[in-house]
Structure 1
């Protein structure tokens, strides 16, 4: 009986080793899968759906972070994405216009990069519909990084470290633009700002001051006499409606940039620009698509004035031909509330900082 048992165990062992050898021989590099990334979305922000063709992974996010700060992506090796998107400024540029590698300035203020995973369109004129699509542009843009994707891919493939990092993230032996933009998009999807004083207030973790509460009430009240009427376009919890408005910056004749019209060619879209989020607005100036206002006080003065009339001026700006009627204490209260949207933990999060 004991001999039979030993024989049976021997046969099972041989068969097991044979199967294992066959399975191992049939394994490919594609079986080495990257590690899923556990993205935590704080309340009151809504749940976030990841794209099926570019799910977040630990390896992909880490690679995207390096690429975000990598000057190798520019033609002369002097600029990276972070050159125009400073973490401490909400991932925007404190200059009115960013300057590219050739010393040429752009004509729009750099937009913030956080909480973009919820946005259905990107750029001031909405010309991109995903973070992957958005990430394609700066490399080729002659007034930004002024390189081309074939050259960038060659530089990354010849690098001592990047081939293994791309292998770990995407199981590829040949780096191309699709892998680069996917990695950048993964990193940018983790740029979530949702732990400001207002967020903690919304979660019942802290209280706002009387002045901040007054500002919150003004923010969410119709104008022109009783409130500041901000909530229509700057809707909580994102403090943007992700759509496009003409907020009275220019008339039909003096406008130099037509915004959404440049994409749609629809006459009714002239002068419309994407509503920016007000999160971290305290640190993300200058303001508007062309950075014309240096301070929040100037922005507030614009809306109090009623703005400039044009054929596509948003109806919410009309107020029966007037601007907003806010007392000085109300102005200060509104500004105090806007400062509660600053997320210091996000602005100083080491996970988003330069890894080099």
Structure 2
């Protein structure tokens, strides 16, 4: 059955209170029923600790698109996470922040995060409620300050009303701010691609022969890392990228300081991968062809190289040109147009 994550939510919006109501008039806050798509693994996020509600989601959405949270009043979360590009910073090798500051890593997509237990390229966050702290406080991203953000929100009538409706204690504070942002990200579920419909036996889910053959090759040569219908095993691996000496990003090692974690990065989901270029943690590849060429003849050996990329001294994954064409055809079936255009996730 097609995912109905937004079913009750959409109905609830029809009866939501106007934002022009007086501040003393309370919003009606309606729970959102979250349904796990039938072809997905179990939910990881504990919804009982942060129950999804109409106003909690609405608050999180307002926060996500509000540039006033940044030190320059402009750079919102959405600045680097654009919906039509699966909430990535399309075309930018690495993200740009306040005062045109340039980071060192490519913005990851925001999709299906409630099914993951660790976040960021290096796993610096292990809870979705805490993930937003990193970009919010980063000097080269939003350069935000919680004291200033809370003061701004307390001075905003709409924020005061939403916080009051969204949470039992009704407080405008950083904890509730982070929970609301988490609710928005939880609801960013991509589960209605052509591939999903194929997996669930739904109308519109017929794969062509080329796509089916690509799926077969993918399962043979790629699915050990890009596992399940989320297309990631949430592990950290060194995939043989040549080190950029100007940055020397050691990946997971920056968090654990363990030698075995040097140059390991989180395996990204391949959902909507057609829309999320450029690729890799530093955005070095601009096409899917370039990515596959890396795996066939560009893998660099090192002490922590993933075992799957070294077979009896032979580096990489053997792929013919025909297999590459078929894999890319299959990967394009992971594009979820409904997700990329869902008005409930859009700013306006």
Report TM bin, short chain: 0.7 to 0.9
Residues 57-96 of structure 1: per-residue CA shift (max 9 Å, x gap)? 1110111011110111111211110000000111111111
Counterparts of 1:90 and 1:32 in 2: how far apart (Å)? Answer: 31
Distance 2:119 2:218 in 1: 25
- Contact residue 97 and residue 140 of structure 2 kept, 8 A: yes
Q: After the TM superposition, which residues 325-340 of structure 1 pair with which residues of structure 2 at under 5 Å, given as runs?
A: 325-340=318-333
> 2 CA distance for matches of 1:108 and 1:53?
31
- 1:42, 1:172 → 2: CA distance? 32
Q: How many residues align?
A: 319
- Structure 2 contact 72–99 (Cα < 8 Å) conserved: no
**1:234-267, CA deviations, whole angstroms, 9 ceiling, x for partnerless residues?**
0021100001000000259887000000000000
TM-score (norm 2): 0.87
Q: Secondary structure at the match of 1:198?
A: helix
Q: How many angstroms apart in 2 are the aligned matches of 1:79 and 1:322?
A: 42
Q: What is the RMSD of the two structures over their aligned residues, measured on CA atoms?
A: 2.0
Please, which moves more after superposition, 262-271 or 141-150? Answer: 141-150
Range with bigger deviation, 67-76 or 106-115: 67-76
| Partner residue in 1 for 2:17 | none
SS in 2 for 1:161: helix
Change (3 A) 1:152 1:276: same
Between the aligned partners of 2:42 and 2:135, the Cα distance in structure 1 is 29
User: What 5-or-longer segments of structure 2 have no aligned partner?
Assistant: 1-23
What is residue 156 of structure 2 aligned with on the other side? 159
Please, what TM-score do these two structures have when normalized by structure 1? 0.86
1:207-229 per-position Cα deviation (integer Å, ceiling 9, x unaligned): 211100110110011xxxxxxx1
The list of structure 1 runs, each at least 4 consecutive aligned residues, that deviate by more than 4 angstroms after superposition, is 251-255
Structure possessing the higher radius of gyration over alpha carbons: 1
Matches of 1:324 and 1:141, distance apart in 2: 37
Mapped pair 1:286 → 2:273:
no
Q: Distance in 2 between matches of 1:342 and 1:34?
A: 33
CA distance in 1, matches of 2:145, 2:306: 39
- Seen in structure 2, the aligned counterparts of structure 1 residues 253 and 267 have a Cα distance that, compared at 3 Å, is farther
The farther-off stretch of 109-118 and 49-58 is 49-58
Measured in 2, the distance between the counterparts of 1:97 and 1:251 equals 16
Deviations 1:116-168 (Å, cap 9, x if unpaired)?
11111000000101111111222221111112100100000011211011000
Q: What is the rounded CA distance, in whole Å, between the counterparts of 1:352 and 1:236 in structure 2?
A: 25
CA distance in 1, matches of 2:36, 2:136: 30
Unaligned runs of 5+ in 1: 1-28, 222-228
Query: What SS is found at the alignment partner of 1:302?
Result: helix
